[in-house]
Amino acid sequence: MPKNSKLKIGVLTGGGDAPGLNAVIRAVVKCALNRGWEVMGIKDGFEGLLDPSSIKQITPGDVSGILNMGGTILGTTNRGNPFQHKAGSDKKESAKDLSDLVVENFKKLGLDALVAIGGDGSLTIAKKLYDKGIPIIGVPKTIDNDLKETVITFGFDTAVSTATDAIDKLHSTAQSHKRVMVVEVMGRYCGWIALNSGIAGGADIILIPEIPFDWDKVCQKVEKRYKSGKNFCIVVAAEGAKPASGERLVKEHKTATHVEVLGGIGEFVAAEIQKRTGREARAMVLGHLQRGGNPTTFDRLTSTRFGAAAVRLIAEKKFGQMVSLSPPNVVSVPLEKAVAGLKTVPPDSDSILSARELGISFGD
């Protein structure tokens, strides 16, 4: 391994947490230390770069035993955008652009490069900081799997496993009570978690944002299922799913500094099915369980490969890039391309086609 000049690099985790964050941090630290470099841990995403006193060196002991741990030892926030910074919770205070301070602090700390582990929000910030001169590498994280230019983001596989496990468990209670059970899963504006867990968990109906549904079609499928002698029905609804005749349900609206929070579709679908079919229906919101727990083997492996690849890119001085899974390899792509829009589920994809052939309804 080339031991190029001793570098000092920073690492941070931004946005909603996802299983595998610690595995990436560990890989970055181990690979960098093996090259003779120094790694600084930046707390709470980009927020940490506004407070240099909070930035500490990461030692081998700090990353020992964290490979299979959920969460992030560095902390994170999905409200830490230095380009639109708002201190505290005072609603009246207007957002300030503190990105120059971030650049100044980065230089003061003597950092040579920054590894930013995050989803579309954090990587968009990373791209803007790269444009302002910070040598940055992005690592694609999100349970939503909605980042472009990578086949998969780490965290997604664990979230799908958790959701599938929940759907498996709902089968017996649905059957015992002859109920329609509606499971609301995360995913924001994309249906990847709903689609994959729905197929793996044997759902009868899957509702995703990419295919707006028709209430009549949903209810016809419920009735068909009961008439076929199966006295229960499992529906998986992505939080961003919406009826063709309506809007997606928003719990908290987007502001200059806060992202939109979705939710409520599960209850809505259960209530509507019960009203229209007379079948008893219940809803369950899986929520943040999908972000918790130990990463699966796949996520640990992907996270570790991503972390190692990020350090390799720094050694090669290939900045402004995001590591990306392009099986069988981990490659790199420009951050600019990775954050240009979301990776939605193609309605004509093989998974959708296979699900339809299995008799799963998308309510269309």
For ligand F6P, the binding residue among 128, 291, 300, 343 (CB under 6 A) is 291
Please give the Cα distance from 354 to 350 (Å, whole number).
Answer: 6
In the numeric block, the tokens 């002859």 are attached to: 178
Residue number, 76 or 274, with CB nearest to ligand F6P: 76
Interface with ligand F6P, residue 186, by CB under 6 A: yes
Minimum distance of ligand F6P from residue 314's CB (angstroms): 26
For ligand F6P, the binding residue among 142, 150, 332, 361 (CB under 6 A) is 142
Stretch that binds ligand F6P, among 32-40, 127-135, 142-150, 228-236 (CB under 6 A): 142-150
Interface with ligand F6P, residue 261, by CB under 6 A: yes
Please give the Cα distance from 39 to 33 (Å, whole number).
Answer: 8
Which amino acid would we find at residue 259? V
**Residue window 9-48: x/- pattern of binding to ligand F6P, with contact defined by CB under 6 A:** -------x--------------------------------
For ligand F6P, the binding residue among 28, 42, 143, 167 (CB under 6 A) is 143
Interface with ligand F6P, residue 120, by CB under 6 A: no
Count, in order, helices (H) and strands (E) of the chain: 10, 13
Stretch that binds ligand F6P, among 86-94, 185-193, 274-282, 296-304 (CB under 6 A): 185-193
Interface with ligand F6P, residue 262, by CB under 6 A: yes
Minimum distance of ligand F6P from residue 45's CB (angstroms): 13
Interface with ligand F6P, residue 257, by CB under 6 A: no
Minimum distance of ligand F6P from residue 159's CB (angstroms): 8
Structure tokens at 291: 């972000």
CA atoms within 13 A on the CB side of 40: 21
> What count of residues does the chain have?
364
Minimum distance of ligand F6P from residue 199's CB (angstroms): 19
- Do 46 and 14 contact (CB within 8 A), yes or no? yes
Interface with ligand F6P, residue 144, by CB under 6 A: yes
- The DSSP code sequence of 22-55 is HHHHHHHHHHHHHTT-EEEEESTGGGGGG-GGG-
Please give the Cα distance from 268 to 305 (Å, whole number).
Answer: 41
Which amino acid would we find at residue 53? S
Residue number, 113 or 186, with CB nearest to ligand F6P: 186
168 is catalytic: no
Minimum distance of ligand F6P from residue 239's CB (angstroms): 6
Please give the Cα distance from 165 to 150 (Å, whole number).
Answer: 26
Please give the Cα distance from 79 to 256 (Å, whole number).
Answer: 10
Please give the Cα distance from 206 to 221 (Å, whole number).
Answer: 11
In sequence order, what are the residues at sequence separation of 6 or more whose Cβ sits closer than 8 angstroms to the Cβ of residue 293?
Answer: 19, 70, 158, 162
- Do 130 and 136 contact (CB within 8 A), yes or no? yes
- Whole-Å CA distances, 71 to 62, 63, 353: 14, 13, 35
Q: Is 179 left (phi over 0), alpha (psi -120 to 50) or beta?
A: beta
Radius of gyration of the chain (CA): 22
Measured at CB, which residue is nearest to ligand F6P? 186
| Annotated catalytic residue within 17, 44, 144, 146 | 144
| Residue 197, Cβ density class (10 Å: 0-12 exposed, 13-18 middle, ≥19 buried) | buried
Minimum distance of ligand F6P from residue 248's CB (angstroms): 11
Stretch that binds ligand F6P, among 106-114, 136-144, 175-183, 292-300 (CB under 6 A): 136-144
**Residue window 304-343: x/- pattern of binding to ligand F6P, with contact defined by CB under 6 A:** ----------------------------------------
Interface with ligand F6P, residue 267, by CB under 6 A: no
Residue number, 111 or 147, with CB nearest to ligand F6P: 147
Pick out residues in 72-111 that bind ligand F6P (CB under 6 A): 78
Where do contacts with ligand F6P occur on this chain (CB under 6 A)? Answer: 16, 78, 119, 142-144, 186-188, 239, 261-262, 291
Q: Which residues are catalytic?
A: 144
